Amino acid sequence: MTHISKTKKALLLLASAVTFVSCNTMNEKAEESAELVVENALLKEWTGPYGGVPAFDLMKIEDVKAAMLTGMELNLEDIEVIANNADAPTFENTIAEMERAGQELDRGFAYYGILSANMSSPEFRDIQTELAPLFSEFESKITQNEKLFQRIKSVYDASLEKPLDKDQQRVVDLTYKRFAMNGAELSPEKKASYAAINKELSSLYTKFSNNVLHDEENYVTYLTEEQLEGLSEGFIKSAARIATNKGQEGKYAITNSRSSMDPFLTYSTERELRQQVWTNYYSRGDNNDEYDNNELIADILKLRRKRVELLGHKNFAEWRLQDRMAKTPENAMDLMEAVWPAAIARVAEEVADMQAVAIAYGDDISIESWDYRFYAEKVRKEKYDLNSDEVKQYLQLDKLTEAMHYVAGRLFNYNFTPIPEGTIPVYQEDVKVWEVTDKTSGDNIGLWYLDPYAREGKRSGAWANTFRGHSSFDGEKNVLATNNSNFVKPAPGEALLISWDDATTFFHEFGHALHFFSSTVKYPTLNGGVRDYTEFQSQLLERWLSTDEVINNYLVHNETGEPMPAELVAKIKNAATFNQGFSTTEYLASAIMDMKFHVADPTKIDVDKFERETLAELNMPKELPMRHRTPHFGHVFSGEGYATAYYGYMWADVLTADASEAFAEAPGGFYDEQMAAKLVKYLFAPRNSMDPAEAYRLFRGRDAKIEALMRDRGFPVTTE
């Protein structure tokens, strides 16, 4: 996340979906803008309880364009007032005023983000494409405002002589760094080139995202009743309902999303259909048609290199990582290369186990990518007597939600109370809302929105976001946070049962929400984070899923209500490092590819060929793909949030493994009160108000060690 202002954060959280109109569009008179704000529901100040909430019930696509244009105009007016202040620059009249700027646009982006990620439509995508260049020009108008930057620099230089208080100093440092990294010190000619590149990139990012969404929506595999062998009853009912909704009554739909693809590949006995579903999923954006992303990626890589060369950097990765924990591409690669050999060696062992099982079953095949999940599940049963479908019977989404709230109560002293339907506006009927309060004082912390189900127009995956972050410099502002998943909605009256991996992801994203809620920062900019650190808190929260308190009280059978048997719990824990070759290698391949793409010469790059040749050089096992193949790698090519930063999950996982050992060693284990207090104080509450490395040392008393990660994954630990 970036650190210019609340508005800039919103822009980049949206993965750069937007950018430029004509300068004249943003030249309306202030009084006309004020009238538009009154008329446009997307810009109005939020009213109602809990410090005001978004009026999702009034959200209309026809209001989007006007809201965004007017919001940007008002934001730029705020900036011009700051830049042209006749008084000498100070923290209060420059930096603090920047923190206040653009409140109308911030509100507009709460709706825009929902329409982009949760409720997309062809009509909205047309608006998104039109606005994309506009947002880029808008951002350039701020980062390249010479008067504004000189005021920022004046405050920054003065703080070197006479430091401000800790929070103020951090905001000044982050603001100055962000402007400098984005061309504020370039010559006028280079600034113009920089802005033009950003404008072009923003349109490419939008097109990339829309191409992937097209392939997710339009590649559906329909099954007949004779093709359902191996699939669970709940999955079959959901597939039937989806097919009916798509006008295919009597058939069963496997959609082109991970939540549908993954269980189908794990359990279906129809090998040819597994291959078809696998191919649909992993060829998103790579079908040699008008929605193919390979040429777009090549253009993105060239433009990114050209842009950072204006700043004197040799490649995008060098520029991007300068303000991350890793600092350099070499440091990030060192970590990944240290883990890679053990990961692919484990894959070879896993494939040998699967091949042996296939032979034992009389299957005359060689393991292919569409076989991996299917035979891995059989190996799990053979080696650990662990049946994933049996485990799923104890993983009900509603009970897991209660479990997360329990963990939040024990660690953070939070209480989650469901809000009756109709009390708070929501944008879709399946969205539920909880009030979050402090257990001791009863004070409101904020609201938690949960959007759990997959649907057409909703982007794939799982994520967390905020409609409003915490700050206190202009009065205490509570948090409005949202978690989003893509579970296949169950048939009416059926419990939603999910896999252990999906339950882990559910906890992971809730970790992000807790990071939002626990913030004690004073200024909005400090609610940001360092990309290779902000995944740490959420990865750490995953560990509470397997604690005895959660297992014994919330993992109960969906029909009998009985708690998970001790024998099954033991099997799960014994199999904790099972299939780590697959999960580590598919992730690392994507992370390494991300870095390799951004340090390579992009001049004449053939994206498809580069992917194939790089994977061959890495000795990528043929039996599994990258988690995100390049043509649909939205983390990296639908915006810049994770570009050259996908390695950050592993960087964060070193911290996670090390911190988990600290909890395991504590007298009270994972619910040790002293450890929980340190967790909140040093790892969650500060957000980006202190250097992440310093924060971790305050928690652990030392830096994290990679050996903890290797132990955690069951890989050999080498000692010098």
Structure tokens at 546: 């397997």
Range 525-560 burial, b when 16+ CB lie within 10 A, else e: bbbbbbbbbbbbbbbbbbbbbbbeebbeebbbebee
Residues 474-503 have a mean pLDDT of 93
Residues 78-104 have a mean pLDDT of 98
Q: How do residues 104-136 score in pLDDT, each as one tens digit?
A: 999 999 999 999 999 999 999 999 999 999 999
The number of beta carbons lying within 10 Å of the beta carbon of residue 231 is 21
Q: How far is CA 629 from CA 8, 275, 626, in A?
A: 29, 16, 5
Of the chain, the percentage scoring pLDDT greater than 90 comes to 90
Q: What is the pLDDT of residue 39?
A: 80
The mean-pLDDT minimum among 169-178, 359-368, 530-539 falls in 530-539
pTM recorded for the entire structure:
0.87
Q: Read off the pLDDT band of 38 (50, 70, 90).
A: low
Tell me, letter by letter, the H, E, C secondary structure of 328-361.
CHHHHHHHHHHHHHHHHHHHHHHHHHHHHHHHHC
Pure H helices in 426-499: none
Q: Give the closest residue to 27 by CA, choosing from 65, 79, 72.
A: 72
Residues 509-532 have a mean pLDDT of 94
Place of tokens 């000189």: 150
Q: How far apart are CA 281 and CA 369, in angstroms?
A: 12
- 479-487 vs 444-453, strand pairing mode: parallel
Helix (H, G, I), strand (E, B) or coil at 88: coil
Structure tokens at 135: 């947002």
Residues 634-656 have a mean pLDDT of 94
Q: How far apart are CA 82 and CA 99, in angstroms?
A: 11
Q: Read off the pLDDT band of 150 (50, 70, 90).
A: very high
Close Cβ partners of 423 (under 8 Å, ≥ 6 residues apart): 49, 433
Q: How far apart are CA 467 and CA 50, in angstroms?
A: 13
Q: Read off the pLDDT band of 27 (50, 70, 90).
A: very low
The amino acid occupying position 314 is K
- 221-223 vs 252-254, strand pairing mode: antiparallel
Of the chain, the percentage scoring pLDDT greater than 70 comes to 94
Strand partners, 481: 448, 466
Q: How far apart are CA 257 and CA 543, in angstroms?
A: 26
Q: Read off the pLDDT band of 37 (50, 70, 90).
A: low
pLDDT beyond 90 at 719: no
- 414-418 vs 252-254, strand pairing mode: unpaired
Q: What is the pLDDT of residue 506?
A: 98
Q: Is the dihedral of CA 573, 575, 581, 586 positive or negative?
A: negative
pLDDT beyond 90 at 491: no
Q: Read off the pLDDT band of 166 (50, 70, 90).
A: very high
Q: How far apart are the first and last CA of the chain?
A: 37
Residue ranges and CATH numbers for the domains of the chain are 6-185 (1.10.1370.40), 219-282 (no CATH), 397-562 (1.10.1370.40)
Q: Residue 437: what are its φ and ψ, rounded to 5°? A: -130, 160
Structure tokens at 359: 């032979």
Q: How far apart are CA 131 and CA 125, in angstroms?
A: 10
Return the higher-pLDDT residue of 429 and 14. 429
Q: Read off the pLDDT band of 529 (50, 70, 90).
A: confident
Q: Read off the pLDDT band of 563 (50, 70, 90).
A: very high
CB of 484 closer than 8 Å to CB of 494: no
Return the higher-pLDDT residue of 482 and 37. 482
Q: What is the mean pLDDT of the chain?
A: 93
Q: Read off the pLDDT band of 14 (50, 70, 90).
A: very low
Q: Read off the pLDDT band of 528 (50, 70, 90).
A: confident
Q: How do residues 665-714 score in pLDDT, each as one tens digit?
A: 999 999 999 999 999 999 999 999 999 999 999 999 999 999 999 999 99
Residues 455-476 have a mean pLDDT of 93
The mean-pLDDT minimum among 13-17, 496-500, 607-611 falls in 13-17
Q: Read off the pLDDT band of 36 (50, 70, 90).
A: low
Q: Is the dihedral of CA 460, 461, 465, 467 positive or negative?
A: positive
Q: What is the pLDDT of residue 385?
A: 93
**E strand or H helix at 418:** strand 414-418
Q: Is the dihedral of CA 189, 195, 199, 201 positive or negative?
A: positive
Place of tokens 């508005």: 7
CB of 341 closer than 8 Å to CB of 234: no
**E strand or H helix at 273:** helix 271-282
Fill in the DSSP letter of residue 441.
T
